[in-house]
Amino acid sequence: MGKLQTDRTLGLGIDAGGTETRWALSEPDGEIVAEGTVSGLSALLMAKPAGREQVHATFSQLAKDVLEAGHPLRVCAGLTGFGGDGNVLVGWLSDLLDVRLDAITLCNDIEIAYLDAFEPGEGYLVYAGTGSIAAFIDENGEFHRAGGRGVMLDDAGGGFWIAREAMRRIWRREDEEPGAWQDSPMAHAVFDHVGGSDWSFSRSFMYTQERGEIGKLALAVAMSAGADPSARHILLQAGRELARLALALVTRFGERPITLSGRAAELHPLIFEAMRADLPHGLTLQKRTARPHHAAAHLAARPRN
């Protein structure tokens, strides 16, 4: 979708996650006039030369697609893994999009996702994508979190965790009973996804793919949940882990409405059901389809005094 814009009043919103990077162009009145997706990325990739090349290539493709639809005046970008040092990233976006350096705002992708769901101080966002995190922006604009420590440490309930749990269960059972995978619908779905049932396929997938690609394996787990008790158990446990994140913020800051969002949260109804069951009845919980790239675009397009 999209129409050519030449008056430079547009705001560009970017939501960069491990699975994909979404962008949107917004008019000052909030109308989204164009949007699209490119490859996923993480600010953590900037730590190595190859990763920097990957991020620049993704930004280049994004800029090409955006400029075919319109020329933004300002940019608001939320990046997974972003820790505050964004001078190089801002410079790249400025050059590629021909936007002033001071017209580009970078932040963590979860901050944008929160503002897509709540006004500051209003509630708690639990976001389950490749990883998992609970977020709260208070009335003073300060960002608070529970979880979101990365897939190597935790991020339970996210897509990567679901994929890893499935692999762990499958191969532990193979250790005890070689060939048992043939009776497991989940194992069949997982092995179809990675290319084969030999350990070499699983090993190559888990240790050479980017975390976003590994997270997509959670789709195979969800697809097999209707026929495989192990898959159902993993999804139920994912919901319980997400409830734990929400309760951590409730304990610290008091009761507020809770929203569950993110692609992993939408994998299967069992995740939401298990999260609801683990939360006190008095807490409000809703599920929301995330459009943080729209929220970022609206922020970028908002007139400045």
DSSP string spanning 189-217?
HHHHHHT-SSHHHHHHHHHHS-HHHHHTT
Report whether pLDDT(149) > 60: yes
Query: What percent of the chain is predicted at pLDDT more than 90?
Result: 81
pLDDT at 157: 98
Report whether pLDDT(108) > 70: yes
pLDDT at 3: 44
pLDDT at 303: 75
pLDDT at 6: 45
Coil vs helix vs strand at 142: coil
What burial class does residue 133 get, using C-beta atoms within 10 Å of its C-beta: 0-12 exposed, 13-18 middle, 19+ buried?
buried
pLDDT at 175: 97
**Mean pLDDT, residues 224-229:** 97
pLDDT at 5: 45
pLDDT at 83: 78
The separation between CA 289 and the C-alpha centre of its own chain, rounded to angstroms, equals 12
DSSP structural state of residue 102: G
Q: Which residue has the higher pLDDT, 129 or 172?
A: 172
Cβ atoms within 10 Å of 5's Cβ, excluding its own = 17
Report whether pLDDT(8) > 80: no
pLDDT averaged over every residue in the chain? 93
pLDDT 10s digits, 124-139:
999 999 999 999 999 9
Identify which of 22, 12, 14 has the alpha carbon closest to the alpha carbon of residue 212: 22
pTM of the predicted model over 0.85: no
pLDDT at 1: 43
